[in-house]
């Protein structure tokens, strides 16, 4: 009986897997259509300094699916990676950001790159041609890279990143604290910015090791001339604690959620006076 049960289980498992594969195939088709129909849109989240002055935005991709509602990037980016579509999506995002830049306040915009994308041989040429076509200065773009085991170890990726930096892009190490061999990563690659993951920021003040870790990262950054951004600032307490740990750049819902271009008022560059974090009428993405 147990054998039979086992077989039934594995059949069910295979059926589930088939359904998953079919779902994923459908999602990939829909993702292609969404790009064509421009149902994929970039939202912008403010990054501020200690005085609450706007110093940048992070571009975050949103998919508004006609039937499934908003599909978060944590869901469709991995699908795009598996379908080898991440290069196309990355170019789409970069182009949209470059086209939006003239209508955004005059600060840097961060764009996320996935590790698979960085491994592509023609990445730099393609990115530079998008910048040239849109008349964009690479110094306005920060490329955010999420560390992964392979990054520092892979020489081709490392030299690709240095080449992008030489071309004028700034490079940020995203989600710091969440991956493998962090400090090795820092040593191997010439990052300009370190973004401390929100899971550390929200644990500040509740866990001594976290406090020490964040202070140490800030110290390393300061001594090696890098900037540190604290991600996931949701409350005034988060802000005070991150500031006490030495962070001097902040990003999070406390200052503003990601919003579409049309909701960014040119004149509202000052977040010091407790943000209209989500003004009633702003379109939160």
**DSSP per residue, 93-142:** HHHHHHHHGGGS-SSEEEEEE-HHHHT-TTHHHHHHHHHHHHT--GGGEE
Q: Are 283 and 259 in contact (CB under 8 A)?
A: yes
Least distance in angstroms from the C-beta of 59 to ligand C2E: 6
Q: Does 112 bind Mg ion (CB under 5 A)?
A: yes
Least distance in angstroms from the C-beta of 102 to Mg ion: 23
Residue 285 exposure: Cα atoms within 13 Å on the Cβ side: 24
Question: What does the alpha-carbon distance between residue 16 and residue 162 come to, in Å, rounded to a whole number?
Answer: 43
Question: What does the alpha-carbon distance between residue 213 and residue 177 come to, in Å, rounded to a whole number?
Answer: 9
Question: What does the alpha-carbon distance between residue 282 and residue 183 come to, in Å, rounded to a whole number?
Answer: 39
One residue of 55, 98, 114, 194 binding ligand C2E per CB under 6 A: 114
Q: Does 185 bind Mg ion (CB under 5 A)?
A: no
Query: How many H-runs (helices) and E-runs (strands) does the chain carry?
Result: 11, 9
Judged by CB under 5 A, which stretch of 2-10, 37-45, 141-149, 219-227 contacts Mg ion?
A: 141-149
Judged by CB under 6 A, which stretch of 9-17, 215-223, 248-256, 263-271 contacts ligand C2E?
A: 248-256
Q: Does 136 bind Mg ion (CB under 5 A)?
A: no
Q: 49: which strand partners? A: 249
Least distance in angstroms from the C-beta of 278 to ligand C2E: 12
Residue 252, contacted partner among Mg ion, ligand C2E, none, CB below 5-8 A by kind: ligand C2E
One residue of 57, 63, 87, 112 binding ligand C2E per CB under 6 A: 112
Residue with smaller CB distance to Mg ion, 231 or 248: 231
Q: Are 237 and 244 in contact (CB under 8 A)?
A: no
Q: Are 68 and 102 in contact (CB under 8 A)?
A: no
Q: Exposed, middle or buried by CB within 10 Å (0-12, 13-18, 19+), for 133? A: exposed
One residue of 27, 34, 54, 60 binding ligand C2E per CB under 6 A: 60
108: alpha, beta or left? (left if phi > 0; alpha if psi -120 to 50): beta
Residues of this chain, 198-227, that bind ligand C2E according to CB under 6 A:
198
CB-nearest residue to ligand C2E = 252
One residue of 174, 213, 242, 247 binding ligand C2E per CB under 6 A: 174
Residue with smaller CB distance to ligand C2E, 12 or 240: 240
Largest CA distance in the chain: 72
Residues of this chain, 252-281, that bind ligand C2E according to CB under 6 A:
252-253, 258
Residue with smaller CB distance to ligand C2E, 14 or 236: 236
Residues near Mg ion, by CB under 5 A: 112, 144, 146, 174-175, 231
Residues near ligand C2E, by CB under 6 A: 45, 60-61, 72-74, 77, 93, 112-114, 144, 146, 174-175, 198, 232-234, 251-253, 258
């Amino acid at each position: 009986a147990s054998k039979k049960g086992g077989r039934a289980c594995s059949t069910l498992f295979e059926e589930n897997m088939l359904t998953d594969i079919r779902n994923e195939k459908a999602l990939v088709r829909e993702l292609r259509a969404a790009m064509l129909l421009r149902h994929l849109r970039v939202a912008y989240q403010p990054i501020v300094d200690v005085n609450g002055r706007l110093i940048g935005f992070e571009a975050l991709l949103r998919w508004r699916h006609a039937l499934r509602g908003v599909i978060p990037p944590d869901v469709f980016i991995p699908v795009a990676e598996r379908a080898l579509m991440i290069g196309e999506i990355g170019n789409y995002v970069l182009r949209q950001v470059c086209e939006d830049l003239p209508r955004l306040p005059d600060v840097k915009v961060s764009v996320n790159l996935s590790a698979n994308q960085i491994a592509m041989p023609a990445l730099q040429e393609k990115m530079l041609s998008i910048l040239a076509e849109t008349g964009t200065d690479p110094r306005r773009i920060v490329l955010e890279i999420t560390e992964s085991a392979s990054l520092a170890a892979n020489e081709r990726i490392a030299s690709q990143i240095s080449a992008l930096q030489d071309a004028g892009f700034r490079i940020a190490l995203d989600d710091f604290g969440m991956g493998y061999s962090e400090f090795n990563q820092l040593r191997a690659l010439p990052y300009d910015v370190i973004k401390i993951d929100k899971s550390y920021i929200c644990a500040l003040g509740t866990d001594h090791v976290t406090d020490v870790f964040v202070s140490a990262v800030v110290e390393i950054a300061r001594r090696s001339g890098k900037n540190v951004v604290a991600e996931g600032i949701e409350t005034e307490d988060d802000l005070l604690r991150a500031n006490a740990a030495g962070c001097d750049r902040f990003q999070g819902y406390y200052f503003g959620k990601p919003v579409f271009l049309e909701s960014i008022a040119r004149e509202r560059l000052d977040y010091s006076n407790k943000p209209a974090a989500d003004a009633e009428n702003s379109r939160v993405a």
